[in-house]
Amino acid sequence: ARLSASPGNDVCLIEAGAGLSARSMPDAIRSGYPGRAYLDTHNIWRGLAAVMGVRREGEVRPARRYEQARILGGGSAINAMMANRGAPADYDEWQVLGAEGWHWEACLPYFRKLERDVDFSGELHGGDGPLRIARPSWERLSPFVQAVIRTLGESGHPLRQDQNGLWVDGTYVGAVATSEKGERIPTSVGYLSDSVRARPNLHLRTDLVADRVTFDGVRAIGARLRHLDGACEEIEADRVIVSAGAIHTPALLMRSGIGPAEHLASLGIPIVHHLPGVGGNLMEHPSIAVSAFLPRAARTAFPEGHHEQAIVRFSSGLPGCVAGDMHGAILSRSAWHSIGYRLGTLFFWVNKSYSRGRVTLKSPDPHDEPEVDFGMLADPRDLERLKRALRFGADILCDSAMAGYRDSVFASSYSPRVAAIAMPGTWNAWRRGALSALLDMAGPWRGRLIHAVVTQGVTLDRLLSDDAALTRFISENVGGTWHPSGTCRMGQVDDPQAVTDASGAVHGVEGLHVCDASLMPSIPCANTNVPTIMIAERIADMLGREDGAVASA
């Protein structure tokens, strides 16, 4: 949208997934409740899997399904719509890590440019960007969420106003990107409006997989594309911009001959330029949760409304960790189905994580998903902080102030089992319905039922009283937050792990840019959609000063 605003550019956008527009948006994507869109396998890369926890010596930890969008608009079309920026210090850190000119003062104008915040104005906020940002009113919050907010307030985490205001710890009603009607606004709608789509110099091409970037020597000259029926097509361009996300961008670069030479050679890929950092520095926010069965009176009155209604930002105080390094999302419901409706959750993640993983190729075939190993918890600070978060969550939900708003409390995570139960289907629907009815009726037996069926023998008491059991539980159940980032990070040309310069131009070649979450040198203390859009706004601005044809995957 931004690049085609300049008539001198001719922009071709290539997307592997289906097209999406305001008119064609299916209900599951449009809905203000976002918990269905990412389960629909039409919207995601079906074969993608990732290893979450650390592989200890000799241990084979299986990869599990990892949802990444495959649809026009990418993650913004399936994500949870939380809209926050992170700490100013996150962006100052990027400059320290070698991304020259990236610091908070330089990023703020682009955070303002992308948003239309309807609740707050002033020097921190924008009023006319494509992304409408709002917070639910107190009345829309579920009784459970309201009770958690009050309990947090009494425990030293006061309710504050603006999650995207001054960076301070506290509890916030969540900032969410939705339309006036409370519906999703993917970037393919907010940015690619009807008038933008009508531009003669913008060509949207969907259901086309970018196989590799083509080169003349070290100059990118276009891309080889694969149609769904396997047919190949080559397009030419003066400039190629890869925006395939932090998993698929490094994979595409490696297939194109840009990456660690030894790895590419082992797969028989001709090397265009040796860049050892491609696929490295893989970051995520490791997560764990504490859930509670909700008495009827604590359940949301707006089951089709947004569920991630509030957040708590807090500081672990662990040596070597920054302020506001922890995040807890306060969920009015925990999944789209009847069991999820009966569960409230505190979903914690390490907002400033220090573990790093890697993306590598399994083969040069674009239909083979890359190998993704997050190496989560490899840094002991990440494990320790998740342990503390689980204890904190248990304290809050078990607090006497929560009486009447929660029944049995238990540790939880988005495990492969939980994901499997959430899949649509008749057998699953029957099982979920039967269990929900049982849970409602179980009365004094509910705790035992949850213990037997939901947590499969893990009790909260055991985790809280036995540190080894807690460590094991978190190591085995740590999940992600769908915030992969950092795998083509910006940095100085003499930094062997840097992949691009500060404008996203790939080191060592010409005419090739990256523009997505891969560029982040370190992970911000925020969900990553708004920070990624900020990056895109800024890089579009940098590129907009140059003329020429542009191809963008």
Ligand X SMILES: Cc1cc2nc3c(=O)[nH]c(=O)nc-3n(C[C@H](O)[C@H](O)[C@H](O)COP(=O)(O)OP(=O)(O)OC[C@H]3O[C@@H](n4cnc5c(N)ncnc54)[C@H](O)[C@@H]3O)c2cc1C
Q: Where are the beta strands (DSSP E) in 185-294?
A: 202-205, 208-216, 219-227, 232-236, 239-242, 258-259, 273-274, 287-293
Residues lying near ligand X in the complex (CB under 6 A) are found at: 14-17, 38, 67-71, 74-76, 78-82, 209-210, 243-246, 248, 252, 366, 482-483, 516-517, 527-530, 532, 553
Q: Compare residues 27 and 262 and give the one whose CB is closer to ligand X.
A: 27
CB of 165 to ligand X, least distance (A): 17
Q: Compare residues 393 and 480 and give the one whose CB is closer to ligand X.
A: 480
Q: Compare residues 209 and 474 and give the one whose CB is closer to ligand X.
A: 209
Q: Compare residues 435 and 533 and give the one whose CB is closer to ligand X.
A: 533
CB of 451 to ligand X, least distance (A): 29
CB of 199 to ligand X, least distance (A): 20
Q: Which of 248, 307, 483, 513 is catalytic?
A: 483
CB of 167 to ligand X, least distance (A): 17
Q: Where are the beta strands (DSSP E) in 363-452?
A: 371-373, 409-412
CB of 302 to ligand X, least distance (A): 18
DSSP 84-153: ----HHHHHHHHHTT-TT-SHHHHHHHHHHHEEESS--STT--BSSSEEEE---GGGS-HHHHHHHHHHH
Active site residue 483: yes
Instruction: Give CB contacts under 8 A, 24+ apart, made by 155-164.
Output: 155/395, 155/396, 155/399, 157/312, 157/314, 161/120, 162/119, 162/120, 162/124, 163/84, 163/135, 163/311, 163/313, 164/83, 164/84, 164/85, 164/111, 164/117, 164/120, 164/124, 164/125, 164/133
CB of 525 to ligand X, least distance (A): 12
CA–CA gap between residue 500 and residue 492 (Å, rounded): 8
DSSP-based helix, strand, coil % in the chain, nearest 5 = 30, 20, 45
Give the angle subtended at the CA of 542 by the CAs of 79 and 503, to the nearest 5°. 75
Residues 6+ apart with CB under 8 A from 394: 290, 409, 411, 460, 463, 464
CB of 240 to ligand X, least distance (A): 12
Identify which of 334, 293, 328 has the alpha carbon closest to the alpha carbon of residue 451: 293
Q: Compare residues 83 and 454 and give the one whose CB is closer to ligand X.
A: 83
Identify which of 89, 104, 473, 527 has the alpha carbon closest to the alpha carbon of residue 351: 527
Identify which of 249, 247, 252, 274 has the alpha carbon closest to the alpha carbon of residue 263: 274
For residue 467 the two structure tokens come to 């540190």
Q: Compare residues 15 and 90 and give the one whose CB is closer to ligand X.
A: 15
Q: Is 175 exposed, middle or buried (0-12, 13-18, 19+ CB in 10 A)?
A: buried
CA–CA gap between residue 79 and residue 268 (Å, rounded): 36
Q: Strands 326-331 and 343-350, how do they pair?
A: antiparallel
DSSP 267-288: TTPPPSEE-TTTT-SBB---EE
Q: Compare residues 311 and 505 and give the one whose CB is closer to ligand X.
A: 311
CA–CA gap between residue 518 and residue 537 (Å, rounded): 15
Is 203 a known ligand-binding residue? no
Q: Compare residues 294 and 517 and give the one whose CB is closer to ligand X.
A: 517
Is 427 a known ligand-binding residue? no
Identify which of 376, 285, 361 has the alpha carbon closest to the alpha carbon of residue 61: 376
CB of 431 to ligand X, least distance (A): 23
What amino acid positions are annotated as catalytic residues?
A: 483
Annotated binding residues: 482-483
Binding site membership for FAD: which residues? 482-483
